[in-house]
Chains A and B, each alone.
Chain A
Amino acid sequence: MIALPLLRDSEARRSKAAAKPSLTVVSRRRRWPALFAGLAWSLVFLGLLGAAVFHTQLAERQLRLDRLDRQVGVERERFDELRYERAELRSPVRLAAAASELGMRRGRASTFVSVTPEAVARQLAAAGPIGDNAVRIVIHTDPLDQFRAVKSVTEAAP
């Protein structure tokens, strides 16, 4: 009656020992997929963030471009207005009217005078030679050249 429990205990121990799992060496878990995934997510995040920033910048630059475009248009119109005013001021119609108000009249005849070398020599002796610099005080303002320069810029702009 006494041995029975002992037997049962030993059986139980054996069965417990048999029930112990056998330990095996497991290969180390690979970490690079996680790293790769993390990196990929970071790249995607940064890309999306960059795209958002880029779009914002794009919109801002576009607004600035629009403003500049409008400003170019305004300045172009201003240029045309000034060009018109200058053409009016320089027109023979206005000049003749202004001259007439001053009591001037158109010359009816031309007199051609032959200047002798002696006269030229006397003039040079009195006033000295006329250098090239004296001519340069006249500012060259060819309206056509100015117009071409502006047109080449405004019309060639994208």
Chain B
Amino acid sequence: MKPATRSHGVPSGSRSHTTGPSRARSTSTGTRARETSRRRTAPAPRNAPVPARTKSHSTSHPKTAQRPHRTSAGAPSKARAKVRTQPPRRSESRFRAGSPRHRLILALAVIGAVLFGLIGRVAYLQTNEADDLRSAAADQWTRSVTIPAQRGTVFDRHGAELAMSVPAVTVSINPKLIDNGPATVQILDDLLELTDDEVAELVAEVATKDRGFVFVRRQADADIGDQIAAMKLPGVNVDRESRREMPGGDTGRSVIGRANIDGVGISGLELQFDDLLTGTGGQMRREVAPGGRSIPGSETVTAQPVAGDDLVLTLDRSIQYSTEQVLLEQVAAIGAKGATAIAMDTDTGEIYSMASVRRDDETGAYGVTSGNFAAVDAYEPGSVAKVITIASSLSEGLVTPETSYVVPWRKQYYDDLLKDSHQHPDEVMSVARILTESSNIGTIFVQQEMGRERHREFMAAFGLGSKTALDFPGESPGILKQPEDLWGSERVTVAYGQGVSSTSLQLVAAINTIANRGTYVAPKLVKATVGPDGTVVETEPSEAREVVTERAAVQTTEMMRNVVCSGTATLAQVDGLSIAGKTGTAFKAADNGTYFDADGNRIYYSSFVGFFPSENPQVTVLVSVDEPPAGTNDRFGGTAAAPVFAELAPTLIHELGIVPTPGATGCQTP
């Protein structure tokens, strides 16, 4: 007996050829085979059922399969008749008698269905899920890196760079990939001049190999970075970035502010215009090896970074530098705590310089501050505010420069005995003389002509009590109380600048109103911006509003000229230049709520504000000295601040090309 498996091993073609498509033939063939099998094996009953296995075997045997030809050709035998009496089982017949054509069609149909399914799936993956799958695949072998946009440059009004970004590199290591740790650290130390602590830390990192990323130096010089990159040290990465630099040193630092190590503005204009300066970062894809290391040369920039806009400030670098230097020299000379100064274009409100210097309490050294105290700190302006009171009264027509009052040197108001700066008998003083000699009592008389409410309205119109248009970060609005909120003698001291506080920025803009013929013009610090395509967009002109009449402004200017020529500000004189100005020596409020320090000494805040040429003012300058030494002659505005103005004036004249009015002789009589 042959193994049953042989029946399955017969080629279908052979079977098809020998047996034919007829079911009857197949049946007779099977019958003959069964008979043969019966004769070979054992006698069995004639009609006994034959085991299926045997039948199957005999049916598929090649030799047996050829017999039907002979049988059908000449065998009308009893056997055929007998066979016909035994119908084949239905299942066996189906298995054996499956038409090859049908099977082929079925197989093709199945294959077609499978292929159709595959094609459908492919089409589905290529359409609906293509993006997701593509990105998922890309994520496995690529890394996306943000390309920082170049931060915009800050220029002065003449295009000189005040703050800019320069190429730099970040050096980092992957200790796990470093072969010779100590040698690598030694090389990095030689090139980057690391500190001993940094070297020790790196040596420990490369020894333990715990971390996969360690910063070595950020914002290193690009040249050094190129040297390190050229060595191709394993595990050492050099990535390009930028570093914020101020080519002019600290010049303008108070205004420009700072950006942190990641290039984000954190103070000053860098903070205020951070969105503008930052630009839009780009995207770069780089392929990575299975180990996570980048494949060199595989970088592809998918989105170009767009550089930030550039700022063109109204500052003049030379004037800014001179202002800072003059302030530093003065505060160091008299031993003041600090000082601020602002130079402003009379017509446009453009600020040429805005400086702030201060003494370091620990070292005692003076330096330019990173904070813009000229805009952030508010103090009582003192006698400078008399200009506002007098000009307002003149504008209202309540007084004239010749209007006179009998002015005592001191007078009781509410619970305070208020005094002038110096003792004098009761004397007749004109409004002009009141301003020239800076009489507190006389100024109160003038304010009382106007009334507190109207006086406050004028002070608000001059810009006190609200932030300027600069909206500088941290800018103070100062304090300008409502008349009903004034307490005690404050009701009258606001006339000469006590009981009201303002920033230097507010004060210079207020006095500039007089220089600008009664029209307030908002201070301005940004002249233009430069877009990504290099186009310059000029900023809007400063807001302007008329506050006092031109006549009142001219009259006040003349009084202020007398202040410089024969009043309290003679140290502000410049030969050949007519200057109008006003000094202020205010008491500064201490943290203890009084005007005295812990030692019981008065604390002063001395100022001088002036503009020139007085016939046709072009620039207004305010100098404020914080805490000049009490008990010395340097505590007054005329002695602490006015000399700074006189020192600064030649630079302004030179840089701004100011030509004195023909025939003007300054304070000298022609």
Contact = CB atoms under 8 A, between A and B. Distances in A.
Interface in A102-119: 106-112
A61 interface: no
A133 B586 CA distance: 56
Interface of B: 153, 155, 158-161, 164-167, 222, 245, 247-249, 251, 301, 306-307, 310, 312, 317-318, 321-322, 325, 530, 532-536, 574-577, 647, 649-650, 653-654, 659-660
A87 B160 contact: yes
Contact of A92 (B161, B248, B533): B248
A144 interface: yes
Contacts of A84: 161, 164, 166, 245, 247
Given A151-B307, A151-B534, A83 B159 contact: no
B574 A92 contact: no
Contacts of B251: 91-93
B647 A143 contact: no
Nearest to A158: B304
B247 A88 contact: yes
B99 to A, nearest CB: 39
Given A110-B575, A145-B159, A151-B530, 13 more contacts: A69-B301, A81-B222, A87-B248, A91-B247, A91-B321, A92-B321, A106-B325, A108-B647, A110-B577, A110-B653, A144-B159, A147-B159, A150-B534
Contacts of B530: 144, 147-148, 151
Contact of A143 (B159, B165, B249, B535): B159
22 contacts: A81-B222, A84-B166, A84-B247, A91-B248, A91-B251, A91-B317, A91-B321, A93-B248, A93-B251, A96-B325, A108-B647, A110-B577, A112-B576, A112-B577, A142-B158, A147-B153, A147-B310, A148-B535, A151-B534, A152-B534, A155-B307, A156-B533
A27 to B, nearest CB: 38
Nearest to B165: A80
B273 to A, nearest CB: 17
A155 B535 CA distance: 11
A125 B532 CA distance: 53
Given A110-B649, A111-B576, A90 B164 contact: no
A81 B251 CA distance: 19
B323 to A, nearest CB: 11
Given A84-B247, A91-B251, A93-B249, A109 B167 contact: no
Nearest to B650: A110
Interface of B is mostly: mixed
Contacts of B536: 148
A75 to B, nearest CB: 12
A88 B162 CA distance: 10
A126 interface: no
A135 to B, nearest CB: 16
Interface of A: 69, 77, 80-81, 83-84, 87-88, 90-93, 96, 106-112, 142-145, 147-153, 155-156
A111 B666 CA distance: 11
A82 to B, nearest CB: 10
A148 B576 CA distance: 41
A155 B312 contact: no
Contacts of A87: 160-161, 164, 247-248
Nearest to A89: B247
Contacts of B534: 148-153, 155-156
A90 B160 CA distance: 8
- The 4 A-B residue pairs whose C-beta atoms are closest, nearest first, are A144-B159, A152-B534, A87-B247, A92-B321
A81 to B, nearest CB: 6
Nearest to B329: A106
B325 A112 contact: no
A107 B318 CA distance: 14
B574 A144 contact: no
Given A83-B164, A87-B160, A155 B533 contact: yes
Contact of A142 (B153, B159, B533, B535): B159
A130 B588 CA distance: 58
A152 B654 CA distance: 33
A109 B666 CA distance: 13
Contacts of B653: 110
Contacts of A107: 650
A68 B653 CA distance: 49
A59 to B, nearest CB: 14
A24 to B, nearest CB: 38
Nearest to A145: B159
Contact of A91 (B249, B322, B577): B249
Contacts of B325: 96, 106
A106 B351 CA distance: 23
A151 B249 CA distance: 25
Contacts of B159: 142-145, 147
Contacts of B249: 91, 93
Nearest to B647: A108
B153 A152 contact: no
A153 to B, nearest CB: 8
Contact of B574 (A109, A145, A150): A109
A23 to B, nearest CB: 41
Nearest to B248: A91
A148 B222 CA distance: 24
Contacts of A153: 534
Contacts of B164: 80, 83-84, 87
B230 to A, nearest CB: 14
Contacts of A80: 164-167
Contacts of A83: 161, 164
B532 A155 contact: yes
A41 to B, nearest CB: 28
A98 to B, nearest CB: 14
A88 B251 CA distance: 11
**Most B Cβ at <10 Å: residue of A91, A142, A149:** A91
B247 A112 contact: no
B576 A81 contact: no
Nearest to A84: B166
Nearest to B664: A112
A96 B317 CA distance: 13
A155 B152 CA distance: 12
B33 to A, nearest CB: 48
A105 to B, nearest CB: 12
Nearest to A148: B534
B281 to A, nearest CB: 14
A83 B162 CA distance: 11
Contacts of A96: 321, 325
Nearest to A156: B533
Contacts of B155: 143-144, 147
B533 A109 contact: no
Nearest to B159: A144
B289 to A, nearest CB: 21
Contacts of A77: 167, 222
Nearest to A92: B321
Nearest to B162: A87
B247 A110 contact: no
Nearest to B653: A110
A154 to B, nearest CB: 8
A112 B660 contact: yes
Contacts of A145: 159
Contacts of B659: 112
